[in-house]
Structure 1
Amino acid sequence: MRPRLRFVAWLAGLGLLLGALLGLAGAALWLDLDATERAALLALPEGRGALLVVLGGLLLVPFAVLLRIGLAGYPEAAARLVEEVDIIRRVNSGHRLKPAGARPMRRLARALNAFAEAHGALQQEVKQRIDEANAHLEQEKNRLAALMSELAQSVLVCNREGRILLYNSSASLLLEPGAAEAVGTPVGLGRSIFAILDQRLIVHALERLRQRLAQHSPRPVANFVTARGAHLLRAQMVPLQDARGELIGFVLILEDITRSVELNSRRDALLLQLTEGSRAALGNIRAAAETVQQYPQMDAEQRQRFGAVILDEAQRLSQQLQQTLARHADILRPQWPLEDMLASDLLLALQRNFATVLGVTAHYGGDDRPLWLSLDSYSLVQAMTQLMGALANACGVREVELELAGEAGFARLGLRWNGAGLEPEVLHEWEERPFSLGGDDPGASTLREVLERHGGELWCQTDHAAGVGRLCLQLPIIEPQSQPAQSSPAHGRPVYYDFDLFSQPGQTPELDERPLSELAYTVFDTETTGLAPSEGDEIISIGAVRMVNGRLLKQECFEQLIDPHRSIPRESQQVHGLTPELLAGQPGIAQVLPLFQRFAEDTVLVAHNAAFDMRFLQLKEEQTGVRFIQPVLDTLLLSALVHPGHNPDEHRLEQIAARLGVQVIGRHTALGDAMVTGEVFLRLLPLLAERGIHTLRQAREASQKTFYAKLEY
């Protein structure tokens, strides 16, 4: 009950008590009087009724003053102390009580502050010991996180129900919804893998894993191929088991095989084309040759005519093969894993290898030109080192100059030395000589094979006049693949609005009974052109962040500016800083809401003063066809629930954040406010649990009883 209502109730009760006491005293006096005295007493108040009422009211004034002082000094001060002690104990140990009320209550507040200081010091000591004890565990976790983030493979870890527990950046990039599937579900902790990949394939692979585990297979692995938009993915599923060998989850290792499948298809089509296209020419050649062989006595003119047929068909077939090889060189060349590398870095690697392996000094001054190559750098450096060793033995070269030039889409790397040059026949012989890559097979590759993998050419030059020899290696230049930029997770409005938070169609009995700590949330906020959605104000920004298992996932954010296609009042611009120029060209609300709905699916919505934001979303249902039916929790109502003794101004987002020890960053931006709201919500959860509110249903029902929820919309 609010303090003012409590005071009125106490005052009414005191009035009734005084009236009852006076009534009892008057009744006793009346019974003791005789008839004459009673008549005189009844005649006494005649004409003095107003005076008696005033005197009665004045009699209540001192009692009311004393009662108000007593309530403020003791019960109200005690209730506020209880609320603030809960904040210190459960949420913000740095919070301190403000002494108020009667002298004993102020002394109690100061004593509690002293106790809080001692308690905080003990907490700090315990925290320090826990941090020291967990240092090794944290180090192992960091190693795992670093390993996952740097893996080139796309890796996801899921529980038995298909909820994502862990994923790396490669998986996020690989499974990011493309333009053709703009409303596809993004990867995120707590999301279902079945909303991202084909559920039937995953369930079938899980069944195969269970069978292999039951058969005690030494390597229980399941593989399948699935599609994600325009990409074809090969998936390898590995089981996760507990100490008893029970299947508790699985690991998915994904690989994009779109390019390789495309190359294989093109290679098959090319093979068919070459087979069918060569059949006629080969038939003509065979027929002409058989005719010449069967009739050896034919005259010279006929023999020459058949020879011309054979020559023409052979030339046509040769020309066709050359054109095909030139047009489809990318699919005929052996596929090999290559990496992007600067040409200057390749020369530096050669410089070091020549010196350490061969003792040959290589001079290279460096080059700032960003010439990017696609290389298997290890095999190329090993092959060129062997070539340099052969050159040193054959020509006595102990010192070379490394050169770099770029021309017409190719990088030309040169080895220049003083002395006799190299003959082309010798170079061709060296190109066919096998060399070892350090494995078990010493003849695994030749220099020619390495060059073919890279689409490179090698030749030698000799300047006899200057006495200089040179080897030239030419490799195609590529455009390096740039990684997409990672999005950084980083006004007064009505306290209520015309929207019923407590009747969402997505609320189910099963969801209502789940503990608050086990639910997944989307904490969101909007910035708008004004405060009156029913009068045409529009959303101009939506920011949201996901919360799973009591953690605010700051890397899983949604942030989008929106073009409202209307003017923005200057006073609104001064609050959120969003100008028409900044919003021009941004997508409209019809394009943004489906994306936000997909981001927030299967979660409970959380916002501060949520009815305001939900009203804007509700008014766009007909235009966009998007409905947000999931349950909604409001940190404004939850704050009023756990701190009923605080006045309305103390339930503003900034005030709650300060009270609960949340640092406010990015205020009046949609994503910034969503982050602050999420931190506030996390700190409200233990305070709700302290009041016996553990499930979603309990939180909703308790919120309905707060003062703000009872206001007429």
Structure 2
Amino acid sequence: MKGGAWRVVLLGLAVAAAALVFLAVEITQIAADDRTALVRGLAIGGVGLLALWYVFSKLARHFRDLTRLSDRLSGTRGRVDLEPWSSGRGGEIARLADVAGALLRGDGASVAGLPAGGRWERAVQAALALADDPLLVLDEQGRVERLNTGASRLLGLEQGADIGKSLLREDLARAIERARGGGAPVSAVLRRTEEGELSARVADLGLNAGVVLSFPARGSAHAAALSGRRTLSLRPSQAPGPLGDDEPLAALPFVALWVATAGPEPDVGPVIAVGTVRLVGTRIFPTVSLSLLIDPVDPVPAEAVERHGIGTAMVAGERPFGQVWPAIQDALHHCIAVGVGVDAALTVLAQSVAHAGIADPVLPPSLDLGALAAALDPALAGAPFDQLAAAFGLTHKPRLGPQAQAQAQAELAAALFARLNDRGIVTQGQARALIADRAVV
């Protein structure tokens, strides 16, 4: 963004500074014998130079923010990072980022001066209202934003309810991943939280837009009146993007991974719990998550229970690893796995895969948060998770269950990526080079 306008500004400031210096020299020569006039003239020149420096610093920050906004908007739709500036500064650039973010999220009605919807959006709403099947729309947190009467009766949910109260998030997460990876709606069997299962069609609207669920009507008439006020922002499905070193961290798909084992050490023994949470850069998507307990058959030893709080009674009767591996693989698909000790987590997953007799498992690339934190602050080398979280300003929260553990890993990843951005490290390659340089030292 620092193009012609920036050069003109610099030229103008340079000319003004030169004029002030020339004026100060002239005053020195003219008022050499009058000390009072000399001091007054030099003071005026000094104040003028300070004012020019202040103007320069404000303009430099303005153009720097413009460059940041340009970089964040340079990704494709749905992969753009428009989180508020980490410095907390406001101004016209921050307001412009807020407006752009609202437009990309489809929140046109929330932006002052923008129309609440267009002809296409009204057509979509009409199509939803005419749907014969039970239909609902989820936001990125897994809450019901819009549903027709048929879906309300079928699932026993109302607007604003958590979909997890009616359907198992594990099944829904797998379906979302398949829809996103294939770029088209998919059919899925979703289990209820109590008993039974439902056939559904799942359409992913993008990580910023939510999910649409449609259920085949089973011979009953459902009124199609829709509740809620959401203005849908439908986005064309996109093929998965690259995961190369030149890709910006703000646009890369990550999955925070947490794994618990039944061994005496974290990287030993069968896997008994897995939690994942998706994020893109610093943006976390709790609804795209996975929480699994796995029955290892043998009792969980006391030292393992003390380490992660998951005992034999909690996993008894759960499915074996071989049956849940497809869900885990879907959750890790086309992502970079992140976490403190994530390489060890992937290793024990591979060991459990081999023990289950599964051939050719596909495991994702990884980025260890512990190594990244140590590269940013050498004093944190080898620090446990709680110390790392405190060092990067994360508040301590109770972490009960695999999903909560994975959520905590995702929050640490987001904090680290924000710190990297502040230091000018914006691509995956730069982050890995930082870790490599620390390892060499």
Q: Scaled by the length of structure 1, what TM-score is found? A: 0.33
Check 1:169–1:569 CA distance in 2 against 1; reply closer, same or farther (3 A cut).
Answer: farther
Residues 519-570 of structure 1, C-alpha deviations (whole Å, 9 max, x = no match): 1111010111225588x61111111111135311122221111111223221
Instruction: Report the 3-state secondary structure (helix = DSSP H, G, I; strand = E; otherwise coil) of the residue aligned with 2:180.
Output: coil
The code of the aligned residue for 2:305 comes to: Q
Secondary structure, aligned partner of 2:247: coil
Counterpart check, 1:544 vs 2:276: yes
Q: Which residue pairs with 2:218 in the alignment?
A: 259
The 5-angstrom pairing of residues 44-59 of structure 1 reads none
Q: Structure 1 residues 513, 530: CA separation in 2 closer, same or farther (over 3 Å shift)?
A: same
Tell me the equivalent position of 2:16: none
Q: Mark the CA change 1:704 to 1:589 in structure 2 (over 3 Å): closer, same or farther.
A: farther
For residue 361 of structure 2, what is the aligned residue in structure 1? 627
- Contact preservation (8 Å) 2:173, 2:331: no
The Cα shift of 1:639 comes to 0.1
**SS in structure 2 at match of 1:540:** strand
Q: Kindly tell me: are residues 664 and 521 of structure 1, through their superposed partners in 2, closer, same or farther at Cα, counting changes over 3 Å? A: same
Q: How does 1:654-669 map to 2 (within 5 A)?
A: 654-667=386-399, 669=401
Query: 1:570 aligns to what?
Result: 302
1:634 is displaced (CA, Å) by 0.8
- Could you list the per-position Cα deviations for residues 58-84 of structure 1 after superposition, in whole angstroms to 9, with x for gaps in the alignment? xxxxxxxxxxxxxxxxxxxxxxxxxxx
The structure-2 alpha-carbon separation of the partners of 1:684 and 1:195, relative to structure 1 and needing over 3 Å to count, comes to: same
Q: Which whole-Å CA distance do the structure 1 matches of 2:259 and 2:362 have between them?
A: 15
| Cα distance between partner residues in 1 of 2:172 and 2:144 | 20
1:259 corresponds to which letter in structure 2?
R
AA aligned to 1:657 is: A
Counterpart for residue 529 of structure 1:
262
Q: Deviations over 1:424-453 (max 9, x none)?
A: xxxxxxxxxxxxxxxxxxxxxxxxxxxxxx
Tell me, yes or no, if structure 1 residue 194 matches structure 2 residue 194. Answer: no
Alignment match, 1:511: 244
1:546 maps to a residue whose letter is R
Shift of 1:182: 6.8
Q: 3-state DSSP class of the match of 1:555? A: strand
Secondary structure of the 1:665 match is: coil
Change (3 A) 1:567 1:182: same
- With over 3 angstroms needed to count, the CA separation of the structure-2 counterparts of 1:647 and 1:607, relative to structure 1, is closer
Give me the whole-angstrom Cα distance separating, in 2, the residues matched to 1:190 and 1:234. 7
1:85-96 aligned within 5 A:
none
Q: Does 1:583 align with 2:315?
A: yes
How far apart, in 1, do the equivalents of 2:309 and 2:209 lie?
Answer: 46
Structure 2 CA distance, aligned partners of 1:234 and 1:190?
7
Choose between structure 1 and 2 for higher RCO, CA contacts under 8 A separated by at least 6 residues.
2
Measured in 1, the distance between the counterparts of 2:423 and 2:319 equals: 44
The residue type paired with residue 519 of structure 1 is: L
State the 1:600 CA deviation: 2.0
SS in 2 for 1:624: coil
Q: Indicate which of 662, 680, 683 corresponds to 2:415.
A: 683
What is the match of residue 607 of structure 1? 339
CA contact (8 A) 1:233 1:258 kept: no
Aligned-CA RMSD value: 5.1
Q: Partner letter of residue 180 of structure 2? A: R
Letter in 1 for 2:248: P
Question: Counterparts of 1:289-438 in structure 2 under 5 Å?
Answer: 336-337=221-222
SS of aligned partner of 1:700: helix
1:257 deviates by: 4.4
Instruction: Rate the CA distance shift 1:572–1:659 in 2: closer, same or farther, 3 A.
Output: same
Secondary structure in 1 aligned to 2:438? coil
User: Relative to structure 1, is the Cα distance of residues 670 and 251 closer, same or farther in structure 2, using a 3 angstrom cutoff?
Assistant: closer
Shift of 1:231: 5.0
Equivalences for residues 82-161 of structure 1 within 5 A: 140=109, 153-155=135-137
SS in 1 for 2:389: helix
Aligned partners of 1:512, 1:552: CA distance in 2, in Å?
21
Q: Which has more radius of gyration? A: 1
Q: Indicate how the Cα distance of structure 1 residues 123 and 672 shifts in structure 2: closer, same or farther if over 3 A, else same.
A: same
Q: Secondary structure at the match of 1:619?
A: helix
Find the counterpart in structure 2 of residue 406 from structure 1: none
Determine the C-alpha separation between the residues in 2 that align with 1:575 and 1:251.
Answer: 36
Distance 1:193 1:550, change over 3 A: farther
Distance 1:184 1:557 in 2: 6
Distance 1:593 1:601 in 2: 12
1:694 is paired with a residue whose SS is: coil
Q: Map Cα deviations across residues 270-325 of structure 1 (whole Å, 9 max, x no partner).
A: xxxxxxxxxxxxxxxxxxxxxxxxxxxxxxxxxxxxxxxxxxxxxxxxxxxxxxxx
Range moving further from structure 2, 522-531 or 250-259: 250-259
Q: Would the aligned equivalents of 2:278 and 2:289 in 1 still touch at CA under 8 Å?
A: yes
Following TM superposition, by how much is the alpha carbon of 1:672 offset from its aligned partner in structure 2, in angstroms?
2.4
Distance 1:635 1:533, change over 3 A: closer
Q: 1:510 to 1:187 in 2, by over 3 A?
A: closer
1:605/1:550 Cα in 2 relative to 1: closer, same or farther (>3 Å)? Answer: same
Looking at secondary structure, tell me which structure has more helix per residue.
1
- What's 1:381 paired with? none
Displacement after TM superposition at 1:638 (Å): 0.5
**1:514 corresponds to which letter in structure 2?**
E
Question: Offset of 1:661 from its aligned partner?
Answer: 1.3
Preserved contact between residue 527 and residue 542 of structure 1 (Cα < 8 Å) = yes
1:293 aligns with: none
Distance of 2:397 and 2:432 partners within structure 1: 28
SS at match of 2:290: strand
Provide the aligned length of Structure 1 versus Structure 2.
286
Cα distance in structure 2, aligned partners of 1:258 and 1:338:
11
| Aligned-pair CA distance for 1:187 | 2.2
In the alignment, which residue of structure 2 is the partner of 1:617? 349
Question: 555, 565, 568: which is aligned to 2:287?
Answer: 555
How far 1:167 sits from its partner (Å)? Answer: 8.7
Matched residue type, 1:588: P
- Equivalent-residue separation in structure 2 for 1:336 and 1:690 (angstroms): 56
TM-score by length of 2: 0.51
Q: 1:186, 1:599 within 8 Å by CA — same for their partners in 2?
A: no
1:186 match: secondary structure: helix
